Structure 1
Amino acid sequence: MISTLCQKLRILKRASDSMEVVFGIDVKKDNTAKHSYVLVSKMNLPHNGIVHRGRGFSKTGLLMNLLGVIFMKGNCTTEEDILDFLGKMNIYAGKRHFIFGEPKKLITQDLVQMKYLEYQQVPGNDPACYELLWGPRAHAEASKMRVLEFLARINHLDPSAFHFGYEEALKDEEERAQASGCPSVPPAVPSTPSEAEANSAL
């Protein structure tokens, strides 16, 4: 009986981890009902992250990954770096993905139009080179700490393992708290893996 319960919990954990990485959805226990869980999106994307209303899958997980890469690259990264990162996830420009569709269009058009990303040409480059930054809606609906915690969780690390990113995220949390007039409470810092592990996760 106990072993069966443990096995079910392990399956639920693996499923919830996969849903977090792919769809940006947390599986949380519903305190109002016994043995019941609810799905909570990590961001407030319209239509639960479905870019084209009525069809497709949520893009929230991919967006959280993209925001994480941009943040860890110094808040701005090249289109080439983003495409290289996607290649590690077996997602390729020009090749339709069964969940995310055509990734380059999603990133450089759809998410830009929704103001989650900014896509701009880098001046003085021939041939033309483009870079990506957080858009205004990403700044409004996510925080650097929230994105860092997402990256840390999917890579089985503590956020403070991303040393420089963690310091910037803490500063961002303090600035947000001051702007809102609420006192900031720094997150607890448990023992951390090495920064080399954190860097290799990206």
Structure 2
Amino acid sequence: MLNTILTDNQDHFPMVFRKASQCLQLVFGMAVKEVDPREHIYVLVPTLGLAYEVMQSSAQSMPKAGLRVLVLSLIIRNGDCAPEEVVWETLSRMGACPGKEHSVSGDPRELLTHVWVQEDYLVYRQVPDSDPARYEFLWGPWAYVETSKWQVTVYLLRINERFSRVFPSLSAEAEREEEDGP
């Protein structure tokens, strides 16, 4: 990185490396840990335990760990069951629209309602007594094995804190909107 990217600005390396590490954690669910300070050797370790199987399968599926944390956090924020429309609205704002191929996650509808349900990360069920039928997402048994609601909440608080420091004007605007209501 020093020799290729920062050839003329090597003094900026610590800041660039720190920011890149933060992005890896936020987007991919992977933390950068130094294993040999003398030789400056680093490894990627899963955040919240959610990326373990992803690391073993393929590098192309690694970003899905961050998406999984987002969906699990939506479930927590909505009282342990997130209405399907809330999940799709949130993912659509991020460019991952249900039924539409996404460069990172593929088809989000297929991923959430089939793949992660089969892998027991999520439960996708009809809301009882809903007519017309409405659906919701809940944490699946395997999500509880790999992490906890407490760990996801702490992780989200860290992300929010970092976001507030990096984008203070956006954070202040979001706070005002929250106070003013819709």
Same fold (TM over 0.5): yes
* Distance across 2 between alignment mates of 1:55 and 1:19: 13
**Residues 1:123 and 2:128 aligned together:** yes
Contact 2:29 2:51 in 1 (8 A): no
Corresponding residue for residue 11 of structure 1: 16
Report the Cα distance in structure 1 between the residues aligned to 2:96 and 2:106, rounded to whole angstroms. 9
Deviation at residue 130 of structure 1 after TM alignment: 0.4
Describe the shift of the 1:5–1:146 C-alpha distance in structure 2 as closer, same or farther (beyond 3 A).
farther
In the alignment, what sits opposite 1:149? 154
Q: Is there any run of 5+ residues in structure 1 with no aligned partner, and where? A: 159-192
The residue number in structure 1 matching 2:167 is: none
1:94 deviates by: 1.5
The CA distance in 1 between the partners of 2:37 and 2:134, in whole Å, is 52
Letter of the 1:117 counterpart: L
Number of equivalences: 160
- Residue 30 (1) aligns with residue 29 (2): no
Matched with 1:57 is 61
Q: Which amino acid aligns with 1:99?
A: V
Task: Tell me if the contact between 1:27 and 1:39 (Cα under 8 Å) persists in the aligned partners.
Answer: yes
Q: Secondary structure at the match of 1:26?
A: strand
1:47 aligns with 2:53: yes
Q: What amino acid is aligned across from residue 35 of structure 1 in structure 2?
A: H
Change (3 A) 1:36 1:46: closer
- Give the secondary structure class of the aligned counterpart of 1:156: helix
Cα RMSD after superposing both structures: 2.7
Shift of 1:9: 1.6
Q: Please give the TM-score of this superposition, normalised by the length of structure 2.
A: 0.76
Pairwise CA distance, 1:45: 4.7
Q: Given residue 88 of structure 1, which amino acid in structure 2 is its aligned partner?
A: R
- Kept in 2, the 8 Å contact 1:41–1:48? The answer is no
Alignment of 1:1-202 (within 5 A): 4=9, 7-31=12-36, 34-42=39-47, 43-45=49-51, 47-48=53-54, 53-54=57-58, 56-58=60-62, 59-156=64-161, 197=175
Letter in 2 for 1:57: S
Query: How many percent of aligned residue pairs carry the same amino acid?
Result: 36
Q: Does the 8 Å CA contact 2:73/2:153 hold for their aligned counterparts?
A: yes
Matches of 1:6 and 1:127, distance apart in 2: 61
Q: Secondary structure at the match of 1:27?
A: strand
3-state secondary structure, aligned to 1:56: helix
Unaligned runs of 5+ in 2: 1-8, 164-170
> What are the superposed Cα offsets for residues 86-105 of structure 1, whole Å, 9 maximum, x if unpaired?
12212111111111100011
Give the Cα separation in 2 of the matches to 1:113 and 1:17.
Answer: 31
